[in-house]
Amino acid sequence: MANTETWLAKAQIGRDALEQSIPRHLIAGISNLPGDDQRNVLHFPEERGVLTPEELDMTSQTVDGLLQRYRTGRWTAEAVTLAFLKRATIGQQLLNFAVEFLADPALEAARSLDEKYRQTGALVGPLHGVPISVKEHIGMKGRICNAGFVCNTDSIPEEDAHIVQLLKKAGAVLHVRTNQPQSIMHLDCNNNITGMTLNPHDRRLSPGGSSGGEGASVAFRCSVLGVGTDIGGSIRGPAAFCSVYGFKPTALRNPGHGLAGIFGGQESVHGCVGPLGQCLGDLIRFQKAVLDQEPWETEPSLMPLGWRDVTLSPPSLTVGIMLDDGLVQPHPPITRALLAAEQKLQAAGIKSVRWQPYQHAEGWDIVKQLYFADGAIRLRSALESSGEPMLPLTEHVLSFASPTDLTVLDNWKLNSRRDKYRMEYQALMKSQGVDVILCPTYVGVGALQGQPKYWAYTAVWNILDYPAVVFPSGLCADKTTDAFNSDYQPRSAEDEREWKAYDPELFDSLPISVQLVGRHCRDEEVLQAAKIVEEAIRKGAKDI
Amino acid sequence: MANTETWLAKAQIGRDALEQSIPRHLIAGISNLPGDDQRNVLHFPEERGVLTPEELDMTSQTVDGLLQRYRTGRWTAEAVTLAFLKRATIGQQLLNFAVEFLADPALEAARSLDEKYRQTGALVGPLHGVPISVKEHIGMKGRICNAGFVCNTDSIPEEDAHIVQLLKKAGAVLHVRTNQPQSIMHLDCNNNITGMTLNPHDRRLSPGGSSGGEGASVAFRCSVLGVGTDIGGSIRGPAAFCSVYGFKPTALRNPGHGLAGIFGGQESVHGCVGPLGQCLGDLIRFQKAVLDQEPWETEPSLMPLGWRDVTLSPPSLTVGIMLDDGLVQPHPPITRALLAAEQKLQAAGIKSVRWQPYQHAEGWDIVKQLYFADGAIRLRSALESSGEPMLPLTEHVLSFASPTDLTVLDNWKLNSRRDKYRMEYQALMKSQGVDVILCPTYVGVGALQGQPKYWAYTAVWNILDYPAVVFPSGLCADKTTDAFNSDYQPRSAEDEREWKAYDPELFDSLPISVQLVGRHCRDEEVLQAAKIVEEAIRKGAKDI
């Protein structure tokens, strides 16, 4: 099997790059790694004392917390970067979330920041000394950019992606590159190069995807912020599954130049770069740090929309609550969390109305066809050129493609359907006075490895090009409260498949996330609304 | 020939609609219409006394002039509308620029404006009582929208196009719909329904296109402002050929919903709506009136960029002067006007540098392929469905299409080439500190009917998505000064064809226009820069 040898040899290049980059020398041998049967490993660093108390403190900070301590001179960027590299090294052994560590350049960058700070007394930028992990297909100069395909382990960009350049200018320390699935089109995180990333809440479960490495990294606090990408849920899925914060901006705001993947030139449904983080404030800080640099000056296809500092007053806000997209019913914990949120909003005096999903079947149908308007030629030829085996979830997404090849004219017609859908959705929100929609991120609180297949709760907002943020509801799944309804009458085979995937025992005690969505280009308002909604629903959340 | 009968019958529907709409009853029989041999008919209304002095005064106003007189109560919108309807009726007999008159609804709208003004003492909007002509393929409720094809004479929109709605809300009076060529893809203005529009400066010449009806209308002062569309030069060509002002905004600023044509859903090169008018100030007033209404609230694919009131100081401006795109050399009058402009800018203390065209062959190649990425299927089937004959310029644009059918993947690759070209062009402008580029609009000052074929001087800015404004240079072609160089060595067959099209005798004394172009989304700056440049180059222009 010469072919198998070929792809294995190519895959090995990627594995070697990872293996050689892991900075094991920075952290003394970790004894007593949990066995594979230990599901939840989130608190391993604290429990096993593998990091010093100060390192634990460093790695538990938000952006603001770090900046405060840099300003007082309490910590150096070098010390903080070292702490994150150590924690990430542990995280890697438990979760396999990384594709490449950048220990030396990160420490060098940190020392340079410290030096500048010593010289000037001023922080270099709004992300000074903030350790940030970056999804692998966001290119870095001189480093392999495999984009989830074995065939690409010899693909090495000549320059940093635009977003990478901006983050560095803002003072960020990029210390680790993270894993993504084959094709970058799974809501999961497994590939034939560096393999499968695990969910720190339960290692039997998927971390979500495609920015699954980022979900694991941010949840395990291997980084303060993570940079993901999202064309159908790839930031929001991992944020929800790993119980962190994730933001998909409106497309053509954050820069996208220098990203590798199968969708170059595809613009019927724009993918976009966005942050995962520890709190809503950090997502805002990320967006502001990027957009304050006016990326449209370099990348003219972007909209010249700087970040606006907006203030929303709770009484002016109307939240639409969408329990169900009408296609696939969410699992009981999700529904309970949304009903609880509705009560909490009411209690906090925030207006909410029930939002009836508007033709989500149409939105889902359009977006699925548009992903693979090329007939998935790029995807297939990327697999064929190395001979690597197709993973089952790649086969699944290929079922999204139209059974017959689309012509350019078919693509134009889908674009027109999309524009009509956008106009109608917006008109409906305006006519009902709904500012933001609170809804599920996914049918359930999580999924077993290899299982997440239904993306419509996120992808519909991509086709509408609405900004959307995911955050923890403060509630957890409860096998007693959230009973499986075995009498449920499925609406469709898809609905049945997802309903059957609900296992109260498996998902018991996992945190439940929610998604908040707003209109095109109202990114600032959506994040401010999320702050208001989060404050209201987290108040005594455990009482409900 | 049943087929011929079919298309002729269908075309007749469009002709009848025009014929029945011409408000001949408003104006007493015009005696002594100039014979077909009278080339320049621009001043017929003044010379023949077919309008009263007050009507001539009314129809010579800019937007500002009209609004001032409405405010003082000197004129009513009804009287002004009547004057423009009369002038347009004369214009129609001389130039065949219209597709449909809207006399009754226009007069009704004017009376309603007058009534509201009487009641409130305030003008209804920034375009109160301004007679505006509208290109035919911009849909109007309940009226035929043929979009240049015989097959569409039974196509009747159920609502006004978005831009029409906004103009009405701004107080505009829409009194006449204007002609466009078959397929709306000629830089000329002839079709099989209402036929050929003539250029008021010389009726042997093309008015330009595709918004040729607008060029003739605005030049003859059948309207104060005209609404055209531009995907390759269709506003700027007619503005230049007819010596009026025309502005192609950055795409996705002005609303485009409700336009008919063969490009619905095509978004690799966006077409856009824009104004033709009597002065730069009126173009700005149009843009402000539209964007102040926040069209993105209804049409969410637009960028939420309101109109900015900017001020530019001449010393801060650097004008790049591009004499030649490197592909097809402009005719002598064009080159002379640009060299004169260079001197005048210098004399006015405005910084200018020579701008070397950056890969215009690449831009022109990309845009030509992208127009017909569908293999021109829509165009061909629109012709076939009625059986109307294909006009020679339609055949010409079909030569733009790739010889082999493009796949969706080919389209994606062209999009990527386009984005690369955009990034490089912008980087070059920034690195050279060039704010705007002054360049030809077309190879010559005009073209014989049926002849304009080379669009690259305008279309390259469409693929870059740069805003561009066309205005008269103040100079005219001169057969003595602008001699034909018979020794010219052509660069290509295309260059040779265009060079041979130069006829000093034919074009003698025709006004020369120039084009000013600026970076993506800098529409406001481009129009302000045009004011500065115009003021500088018009100073004693006749002396050069």
Digit-coded pLDDT (tens) for B268-288: 999 999 999 999 999 999 999
Q: Structure tokens of B455? A: 């669009």
Q: Does B305 touch chain A (CB under 8 A)?
A: yes
Known catalytic membership, residue A234? yes
- Taking only the tens place, the pLDDT of each residue in A410-456 is 999 999 999 999 999 999 999 999 999 999 999 999 999 999 999 99
| Cα-trace Rg, chain B | 22
Site from A408, A413, A461, A465 to mutate, B interface, most B CB atoms within 10 angstroms:
A408
The whole-chain average pLDDT of chain B stands at 96
Return the pLDDT at A109: 98
Which residues of chain A neighbour B426 with C-beta distances below 8 Å? Answer: 297-298, 300
**Residue B412: closest CA among chain A residues belongs to which residue?**
A265
Q: What is the mean pLDDT of residues A367-379?
A: 96
d(CA A91, nearest CA chain B) in Å: 37
- Yes or no, beta carbons of B300 and A415 under 8 Å apart: no
- Yes or no, beta carbons of A408 and B408 under 8 Å apart: yes
| Complete edge-to-edge strand list for the sheet that includes strand A511-518 | A98-101, A173-178, A131-135, A225-230, A272-277, A245-248, A468-476, A511-518, A436-439, A318-321, A351-354
User: A173-178 and A98-101: which strand pairing?
Assistant: antiparallel
- Yes or no, beta carbons of B412 and A264 under 8 Å apart: yes
Q: Does A270 touch chain B (CB under 8 A)?
A: no
d(CA B369, nearest CA chain A) in Å: 12
Distances (CA, A) of A469 to A213, A226, A250, A344: 18, 14, 11, 19
Of B265, B377, B415, the CB nearest to A265: B415
A-B Cβ pairs (cutoff 8 Å, strict): 112
Given the residues A10, A21, A86, A135, the one annotated as active site = A135
Give the bridge partners for B437, in sequence order.
B320, B517
Given the residues A21, A183, A211, A234, the one annotated as active site = A234
Return the pLDDT at A544: 42
Residue B4 has pLDDT above 80, yes or no: no
* Active-site residue set of B: 135, 210, 234
Chain A, 437 to 476: residues with Cβ < 8 Å from chain B are: 464-465
Q: Does A266 touch chain B (CB under 8 A)?
A: yes
Phi-psi region of B474 (alpha: psi -120 to 50; beta: other; left: phi over 0): left
Which residues of chain A neighbour B407 with C-beta distances below 8 Å? Answer: 374-375, 377, 407-408
Q: Which of A145, A170, A124, A149 is nearest to A275 (CA)?
A: A170
Asked if residue B280 lies in contact with residue B63, where contact means CB atoms within 8 angstroms, the answer is: no
Q: Which residue has the higher pLDDT, A30 or B23?
A: B23
Q: What is the mean pLDDT of residues B12-24?
A: 97
Return the pLDDT at A540: 58
Which residues of chain A neighbour B378 with C-beta distances below 8 Å? Answer: 409
- Yes or no, beta carbons of A426 and B297 under 8 Å apart: yes
Q: What phi and psi values does residue B327 have, to the nearest 5 degrees? A: -110, -55
- Taking only the tens place, the pLDDT of each residue in A180-230 is 999 999 999 999 999 999 999 999 999 999 999 999 999 999 999 999 999
Of A257, A412, A422, the CB nearest to B265: A412
How many Å apart are CA A306 and CA A291, to the nearest integer? 5
- Yes or no, beta carbons of B520 and A411 under 8 Å apart: no
Which residues contact residue A334 at a Cβ distance below 8 angstroms, ignoring those fewer than 6 apart?
A: A440, A442, A443, A444, A445, A512
Q: Which of B368, B183, B189, B193 is nearest to B263 (CA)?
A: B183
Return the pLDDT at B542: 47
How many Å apart are CA B443 and CA B408, to the nearest integer? 34
Of B299, B415, B423, the CB nearest to A299: B423
- Taking only the tens place, the pLDDT of each residue in B153-167 is 999 999 999 999 999
Which residues of chain A neighbour B519 with C-beta distances below 8 Å? Answer: 300
Q: Does B531 touch chain A (CB under 8 A)?
A: no
Q: What phi and psi values does residue B248 have, to the nearest 5 degrees? A: -100, 110
Q: Structure tokens of B453? A: 């074929």
Return the pLDDT at B401: 86
How many Å apart are CA A507 and CA A446, to the nearest integer? 7
The whole-chain average pLDDT of chain A stands at 96
Residue A5 has pLDDT above 80, yes or no: no
How many Å apart are CA B271 and CA B264, to the nearest integer? 10
Return the pLDDT at B485: 87
Return the pLDDT at B28: 74
Return the pLDDT at A485: 86
Residue A3 has pLDDT above 70, yes or no: no
Which residues of chain A neighbour B373 with C-beta distances below 8 Å? Answer: 408
How many Å apart are CA A195 and CA A101, to the nearest integer? 16
Q: Does B374 touch chain A (CB under 8 A)?
A: yes
Q: Does A433 touch chain B (CB under 8 A)?
A: no
Which residues of chain B neighbour A407 with C-beta distances below 8 Å? Answer: 374-375, 377, 407-408
Return the pLDDT at B191: 98
Residue A297's CB is within 10 A of a number of other CB atoms, namely 14
Which residues of chain A neighbour B374 with C-beta distances below 8 Å? Answer: 407-409, 412
Q: Is B233 annotated as a binding residue?
A: yes
Q: What is the mean pLDDT of residues B319-330?
A: 98
| SS3 category, B36 | coil
Q: Does B344 touch chain A (CB under 8 A)?
A: no
- Taking only the tens place, the pLDDT of each residue in B39-68 is 999 999 998 889 999 999 999 999 999 999
- The single-letter DSSP state of residue B199 is B
Asked if residue B299 lies in contact with residue B255, where contact means CB atoms within 8 angstroms, the answer is: yes
How would DSSP label each residue in A30-41? --SPPPTT----
Give the bridge partners for B515, in sequence order.
B439, B470
- Taking only the tens place, the pLDDT of each residue in B468-527 is 999 999 999 999 999 988 899 999 999 999 999 999 999 999 999 999 999 999 999 999
- Yes or no, beta carbons of B409 and A298 under 8 Å apart: no
Q: What is the mean pLDDT of residues B438-446?
A: 98
Asked if residue A260 lies in contact with residue A155, where contact means CB atoms within 8 angstroms, the answer is: yes
- Taking only the tens place, the pLDDT of each residue in A240-263 is 999 999 999 999 999 999 999 999
